[in-house]
Copies of this chain bind each other. A is one copy, B any other.
Amino acid sequence: MKEIREAIKKTNLKFAEIFKRGDAAAVAALYTSDARLLPPDAPMMSGTEAITKFWQGAMNLGIKEATLESIDVESSDGSDLATEIGKFTLSMETPGGERVAQTGKYIVLWKRDGGVWKLHADIWNADALA
């Protein structure tokens, strides 16, 4: 469990680093190839291409940073599946150049894929109306 928690924490840090660089394809590579993304106010989507496009679109809309903080990670012994509940902060730049933060929460279903823990399903929502 401690190992899985560490692997997830590391990947969450990598997610934030890559996101800040604006590399949507590298963000999508942290997901399994058939992962499902369940974003607010958009239909469920799946697969690397759709996930790359989604994050590219979010970056284009002014989302500059995404940080992730695990609250609870669970996994059965020896299982290749784990669940994570967490909180996120998005940092957005408005068209006027102002920085605003949005906080929210998420659940990620993780899958061990060729020895690497990857996001396999990812859903989130905001803490308050924007």
Contact = CB atoms under 8 A, between A and B. Distances in A.
Interface of A: 36, 38-44, 74, 76, 78-79, 81, 83, 85, 87, 105-107, 109, 121, 123-129
B125 A41 contact: yes
Copies held by the complex: 2
Given A76-B76, A107-B109, A109-B107, A125 B40 contact: yes
Given A107-B123, A109-B107, A128 B41 contact: yes
Contacts of A81: 74, 76, 83
Contacts of A127: 41-44
State the 8 A-B residue pairs at the shortest beta-carbon distance, nearest first: A40-B125, A76-B79, A76-B76, A125-B125, A38-B105, A41-B129, A107-B107, A107-B123
